[in-house]
Amino acid sequence: AILAQAVRLKRYWLQAHPVWRIALLAYRHTTAHDCARGCLLRMSESGDDSAEEYTDSSEVNAPPHSSSSGIQGVVALVVVILVFSSNGVAYKKLFVGDPELFTPCSVLCGSNLFGMVTCLPLYYKDLSCANMKAITSLQWFFLIFETICYSGLGPLLYLIALQHITIASAAILGRLESLEFLVLAILLLGEKVDCWSLANSALTLIGILVALLSPPLFGQQLEFSSGFVLMVCSGLFYVASLVVTKKWLVCIPIGILAMVRLSLGTLIYHVMVLLQRGDVGVTEIYTQAYWSQVWWYAVLYVSLAQTLWLTALAHAGSTAISVGTTSLFVLTLLWAMAVLDSFPTGPQWLGSAFIVASVLSSIARSIKQGGVNKAAAAAAADDD
């Protein structure tokens, strides 16, 4: 997830595509956030030239685009979308195996520790004294605040919520994040939205409300558990982290953002495990029984996912990325049905129909916008 910051690279700003919508997706891992695309599109077009004072290793030796690299990017995109969409299902399987050992804190602690070790060789060039000194005290404050939201409270509340609700409920409630970000972007960032974005947002909101409020029509009782509240709060923390990053941290090198998040996240979850279960809980994290089960989760959802996500951002077309990420909602439901044998209820199917309509509308917009961008680029090339 930390490689969501890769969208900060200059070549992605120049593509004039909804990169920050993609960043919001990567923050969440399990749901697409296409409803706020109009707002996020304009955000992606407002790059910050102040980044010149930093040196970013990810901007060095950028690979040239070719047909082979495009195929590589699409393959990476397909794999990473499948990985992202199965995150909740994977944790459900892990937690059911041993709920005492694989608590949200212990799983996140091990995953962050694994990611910190594996990602350090990728980002060590960014961790220079010059880059560190270039960060202002205000940016350090917001970096720590954003890290607490993104690496601490957001994922913790999400995994706790998954213990109490189904994957279908999590996927539907996760769609609120796009609406939350849309509101915050308008209020705090002064962004404007178009009619298409508002229509997609309206479809998403209708789908969520239908899923939550229509059970009496199916002879069922209304259900509002603590898991619902935790899932909504989790989304708020993820969105808050994105807004803070966009407003104050966009020019900080990726490596610093990544390593601060991973290291601080590891520290936070070690402290939480220590407070919850004492020395025994911390000791269990370093046992063979723990790592024999957690290693595949860390490899898939930390190291592999981050590497493939960066590869997709570097080589895949912006339209392909947008279409792929938009399909996460549907893929999440399919993973739950295939692996956990967990099917949406009647109200959830009805609400999902509206959300899927929003997804299809968003995909159509992505394809149309991609055509417009290509035409504009071709016209600019002819003028030159």
For every one of its 384 residues, what pLDDT tens digit does the chain have, with 9 covering 90 and above? Answer: 333 444 343 333 333 333 333 344 443 333 323 333 333 322 333 333 333 345 444 444 444 445 666 788 888 888 989 998 998 999 888 887 788 888 888 888 888 888 888 888 888 888 999 999 999 999 999 999 999 998 899 999 999 999 999 999 999 999 998 888 888 888 887 877 788 888 888 999 999 999 999 999 888 888 888 999 999 999 999 999 988 988 888 888 888 988 898 899 889 988 888 887 776 667 778 888 888 888 888 888 887 887 787 678 777 776 777 777 778 899 999 999 999 999 999 999 999 999 999 989 888 887 887 777 777 777 777 666
The residues spanned by each domain of the chain are 76-370
pLDDT at residue 275, as a whole number: 81
pLDDT at residue 40, as a whole number: 31
Pick left, alpha or beta for residue 148 (phi over 0 → left; psi -120 to 50 → alpha; otherwise beta). Answer: alpha
pLDDT at residue 84, as a whole number: 87
| CB contact set of 149 (below 8 Å; sequence gap of 6+) | 237, 238, 240, 241, 244
Q: Rounded to whole angstroms, what are the CA distances from 292 to 131, 134, 262, 295?
A: 38, 41, 21, 6
pLDDT at residue 280, as a whole number: 62
pLDDT at residue 222, as a whole number: 86
